[in-house]
Amino acid sequence: MRIAGWSMVYDEKGLIDSNDARVEPRYGDLRGSGTAKGGKTRFTASRERADRSFRNAKQNRGIRRMSRDERKSPRDLMIRKTLLIGALLTAAALTRAGPPFVTDDPEPVEFRHWEVYLGSQYEHRNDGASGTLPHVEVNYGVIPDLQLHLIAPLAFDAPSGASRQFGYGDTELGAKYRFIGEAEGRPQVGVFPLVELSTGDSTRGLGSGHTQIFLPVWLQKSAGSWMTYGGAGYWINPGVGSRNWWFTGWLVQKRVLSNLAVGAEIFHETAQSSGGKSDTKMNVGVIWDLDDTRHILASVGPTIQGPTGYQAYLAFQFTFGPGKAAMLQSALHGGMHEAP
């Protein structure tokens, strides 16, 4: 499943000098300028406890300095300073198209750009419910065509007939690399290996109890307002009674308005434990661009083969590039000196 999140896609328009170029949107014709698209979040535990799958230009030439007439009152400066500190600390401390879908894509975050999600995922089954409330996902374009990835979740487990558990879950680390770019008649192709570190307490249902590895290959092709992507991957799932398993999924998405995209996916998971069962699920989702940097992502869908259940995802996303980070730092530094 995906994790609901908060993400910003930074577009320098309106924030840099008029002679500066606007950052080219990385999501193609389907999502357009300032559209949200993140990495896929996956947080997987054994199927007995409930399956979890949370599956994400030119540089600024300068930042316009505020004139004295534009400066705020001391109270406004303190408010601005507090907000800027919060934004910068979040990015500094945390260093998934994917969300709001489970199926991922091969497209990495642009070089020196960030995606930050604050979200929640929920999965309901006959034997209870589990998910994250909330989780933070961070993606960073470290070099062209290579993205680093982190998910830090607060997890919950609510088994039927037992007490609810809440605490830190398994940490997800990954790196997405696109090795074939999209061209006429050719999809883009990439890999996105993930490592699920066993940082959650498995005795309370908050983690798998073992480090897991996911090795997928993803493809994507766009045509006007349409986009489609998907692929398959193999989960290495150690532990007594556990089985390695396969994930396959595909998605179709269309931009229906300038600030709204809708999509649907179907995905299949083989059995994850000895005596376990495979399942097939589907989701429908929306990506709503509030503006060039803020986005809301949501999806929901049922299990259509296997144990009865459903899953949902909601996230708020921010995306920004090096110009936005520089602006935040400059404004923060100026605000500190301007405050009386």
The 10s digit of each residue's pLDDT in 178-193 is: 999 999 999 999 999 9
| C-alpha distance from residue 168 to each of 15, 99, 153, 279, 329 (Å) | 38, 21, 6, 27, 31
State yes or no: pLDDT of 317 exceeds 90: yes
- Residue 51 has a CB neighbour count (10 Å cut-off) of 26
Q: Is residue 285 included in any domain, yes or no? A: yes
Token reading at 6: 């908060």
H or E segment to which residue 331 belongs: helix 322-338
The tokens for 5 are 């999140």
Query: What SS3 class is residue 68?
Result: helix
Mean pLDDT highest for which of 24-38, 64-78, 151-165?
151-165
Residue with tokens 């799958």: 53
**Within a domain: 246:** yes
In a domain, 10, yes or no: no
The predicted pLDDT at position 98 comes to: 82
Separation of alpha carbons 12 and 331, rounded Å: 15
Given pLDDT bands bounded at 50, 70 and 90, which one contains residue 328?
Answer: low
Range in 42-51, 281-290, 310-319 the model is least confident about: 42-51
Which helix (H) or strand (E) segment holds residue 124: the answer is strand 114-125
Please report whether residue 14 resides in a domain: no
pLDDT at site 326: 62
Which amino acid, 206?
A: L
Predicted confidence band at 80 (pLDDT cuts at 50, 70, 90)? Answer: low
Grade residue 209 by pLDDT with cuts at 50, 70 and 90: very high
Give residue 323's pLDDT band: very low, low, confident or very high (50, 70, 90): confident
Q: What is the CATH number of the domain that holds 215?
A: 2.40.160.40
Asked if residue 18 is part of any domain, the answer here is no
Answer yes or no: are the C-beta atoms of 321 and 113 closer than 8 Å.
Answer: yes
| pLDDT bucket at 322, cuts 50 / 70 / 90 | confident
11, part of any domain: no
Question: What CA–CA distance (Å, rounded) separates 235 from 193?
Answer: 10
CB atoms within 10 A of CB 241: 11
pLDDT at 62 over 60: no
Residue 323 lies in a domain: yes
Q: Is 11 exposed, middle or buried (0-12, 13-18, 19+ CB in 10 A)?
A: buried
**Interacting residues of 112 by C-beta distance below 8 A, sequence separation 6+:** 141, 321, 322
The predicted model gives 78-87 an average pLDDT of 44
Q: Measured between alpha carbons, how far is residue 231 from residues 106, 216, 220, 254 in Å?
A: 9, 7, 9, 19
The average pLDDT across 134-141 equals 98
- 291 near 108, Cβ under 8 Å? no
Q: Is the pLDDT of residue 78 over 90?
A: no
Number of domains present in the structure of the chain: 1
Any domain includes 13: no
The residues, ordered by sequence, that sit 6+ positions from 243 with a Cβ below 8 Å of its Cβ are 237, 270, 271, 272, 273, 274, 276
Residue 66 belongs to domain spanning: 28-338
For range 315-320, the mean pLDDT: 95
Which of the residue ranges 2-11, 158-167, 286-295 would you say has the lowest mean pLDDT?
A: 2-11
Query: How many Cβ atoms sit within 10 Å of the Cβ of residue 179?
Result: 12
| Mean pLDDT in residue range 137-142 | 98
| Residue appearing with tokens 């897991």 | 212
